[in-house]
Amino acid sequence: MRQSSLVVVANRLPIDDSVAPDGACEWRRSPGGLVSALHTLLRHTPATWVGWAGGTGTAPALPDVDGVRMHTVPLSAEDLRDHYEGFANATLWPLYHDSVEQPEYHRRWWEAYQRVNQRFAEATADVAEEGAVVWVQDYHLQLVPGLLRALRPDLRIGFFLHVPFPPPELFMQLPRRAELLRGMLGADLVGFQRAQAAHNFAQLVAKVLGVPATDRRIAVDDRVVRIGAFPVSIDTVEMGALATRPDVVDRASRLRRDLGSPDHVVLSVDRMDYTKGIEQRLKAYSELLADGHVKVRDSVLVQVAVPSRERVGQYQILRDRVEREVGRINGEFGRVGEPAIHYLTQPFDRAELAALYRVADVMAVTPLRDGMNLVAKEYVAARVDDSGALLLSEFAGAAAELSEAYLVNPHDLEGLKQGLLAALRASPDDTRTRMRAMRAHLHEHDIRAWARSYLSALDDSGSLLTRLGAT
């Protein structure tokens, strides 16, 4: 078994299998914030990525991707149902996102969560060199740090949560709350997107486990676990370069023409997820059309909503409702050849996304709750001429950094409509000043800065950073 000195452990590998039209199996980058962040970072690093390849049954042997070794962990159909679709995405995901949908609690799901976390811990123990740094990602694998420490006490273990960590009032609902906290405390460093999340965690550790904790350090047995906020980011330079590529510039012009050369293009790009506020946004847009504040010939909304977690009931219900609403709005307000909303559910490559960002005069990112939201950051990075308005939910982690965006509360329909109108009607001077400030922030706080701050806190020797080329 080949071993590595840096091992990233995430539920999902950075590639998805898909069958090409000619029947061949091809691999493509899976949509989602975690993959977007880490894929860029690890490219050409002699690291191993431990994760699930997206199917069930025997784990396929995968080739290295951009120099990174892929180590697959198999999931059975039952694991998929009870771990991924169950405990991870129907218990933890809604609970951690303000319970915007009701979390479900089933003992069978918890058993699967433990079993799959154990399998990930064992797979990681197999591929980690003596003294390696292991970086465990996200809510699917909260028990892995503790389980891995029991198997391999020689490792330096980091854990990073990409999603929000909820306040005690919500987390306390979890039947197995103590075990989850103990699992995370198996790490040397527990990272969150926001300082509030670290604070919530410290409070819960004190309350549930009776262990004194500050927002920075927790003494567990004979170890100190550090905690802190490390807001994740994007490869700002790469997105800027992509957005200026001649083929992407041409593609953006063609897209605008294909959209009927409207005065305003409003764009939203989301996974089809109830946390993203898609229904609220459609309602706001529909009311603006009905009020006559927005006219079909002048403005067009492009809603990209790539299907996600398609077998989870709440996601199926959402997709049906969104599609019905898009149909209703187009039926009511569209004209022949001029739909009010262009609705796309396809995964796009990075160049197509960059062209879409280029063409969007207003980017509407209005989740009800989001750990960070990298789409908002990608849009800003793609606006190389400092034009364009970002309409951003106060409840996205990104709002703490991109405070010059047009900030809205997506639960407030009137506020959402006013925010969208303000973004549509903003003067070029105003949008330019705001965009410049946000772009300057992202140039400093990019994905490498994120890795630098997290990994230097995890591995104070600095050797890891040098190998990553992140210094």
Q: Write the single-letter amino acid at 299.
A: S
State the alpha helices, DSSP H only, in 236-277. Answer: 236-244, 246-258
Q: How far is the CB of 100 from ligand ADP (least distance, A)?
A: 13
| Interface size with ligand ADP, residues (CB under 6 A) | 16
C-beta separation of 326 from 231 below 8 A: no
Residue 337 in tokens: 């050849």
Q: How far is the CB of 266 from ligand F6P (least distance, A)?
A: 24
464 makes contact with ligand F6P (CB under 6 A): no
Q: How far is the CB of 399 from ligand F6P (least distance, A)?
A: 16
- Interatomic CA distance for residues 158 and 351, integer angstroms: 33
412 carries an active-site annotation: no
Residue 403 in tokens: 């405070």
Give residues with Cβ within 8 angstroms of 327, minimum separation 6: none
The single residue among 7, 9, 13, 35 that binds ligand F6P, judged by CB under 6 A, is 35
Per CB under 6 A, which region of 97-105, 125-133, 315-323, 371-379 contacts ligand ADP? 371-379
Residue 348 interacts with which of ligand ADP, ligand F6P, none, CB < 5 to 8 Å by class:
ligand ADP
Residue 323 in tokens: 């599609």
DSSP class of residue 84? Answer: I
| Annotated catalytic residue, options 162, 342, 441, 445 | 162
- Interatomic CA distance for residues 83 and 12, integer angstroms: 13
The single residue among 32, 158, 166, 397 that binds ligand F6P, judged by CB under 6 A, is 32
C-beta separation of 333 from 463 below 8 A: no
| Interface size with ligand F6P, residues (CB under 6 A) | 10
Per CB under 6 A, which region of 30-38, 94-102, 197-205, 206-214 contacts ligand ADP? 30-38
| Annotated catalytic residue, options 82, 188, 361, 370 | 370
231 makes contact with ligand ADP (CB under 6 A): no
Residue 9 interacts with which of ligand F6P, ligand ADP, none, CB < 5 to 8 Å by class:
none
Residue 13 in tokens: 């590998």
319 makes contact with ligand F6P (CB under 6 A): no
Kindly report the three-state secondary structure assignment for every residue of 289-323. Answer: HHHCCCCCCCEEEEEEEECCCCCCHHHHHHHHHHH
- Interatomic CA distance for residues 450 and 394, integer angstroms: 22
141 makes contact with ligand ADP (CB under 6 A): no
- Interatomic CA distance for residues 177 and 208, integer angstroms: 8
- For the chain, the distance separating the N- and C-terminal CA atoms, rounded to the nearest angstrom, is 30
162 makes contact with ligand F6P (CB under 6 A): yes
Q: Which is nearer to ligand F6P, 163 or 362 (CB)?
A: 163
- Interatomic CA distance for residues 187 and 189, integer angstroms: 5
> Within 265-324, which residues bind ligand ADP (CB under 6 A)?
269, 271, 304, 306
Three-point CA angle 336, 342, 343, nearest 5°: 130
φ, ψ of residue 174 in degrees (nearest 5): -65, 125
The single residue among 31, 94, 145, 191 that binds ligand ADP, judged by CB under 6 A, is 31
309 makes contact with ligand F6P (CB under 6 A): yes
Q: Which is nearer to ligand ADP, 136 or 294 (CB)?
A: 136
The single residue among 197, 340, 372, 468 that binds ligand ADP, judged by CB under 6 A, is 372
CA nearest to 114, candidates 79, 166, 149: 79
Residue of minimal Cβ distance to ligand F6P: 32
Q: Which is nearer to ligand ADP, 138 or 361 (CB)?
A: 138
349 carries an active-site annotation: no
**DSSP letter for each residue of 400-424:** GT-TTSEEE-TT-HHHHHHHHHHHH
Residue 67 in tokens: 């120099």
The single residue among 6, 11, 15, 36 that binds ligand ADP, judged by CB under 6 A, is 36
374 makes contact with ligand ADP (CB under 6 A): yes
Residue of minimal Cβ distance to ligand ADP: 33
Q: How far is the CB of 214 from ligand ADP (least distance, A)?
A: 29
CA nearest to 442, candidates 219, 143, 237, 191: 237
Active site residues: 162, 370
Q: Which residues bind ligand ADP (CB under 6 A)?
A: 31-33, 36, 269, 271, 304, 306, 347-348, 353, 372-375, 378
Query: In the complex, which residues of this chain contact ligand F6P (CB under 6 A)?
Result: 12, 32-35, 138, 162-163, 308-309
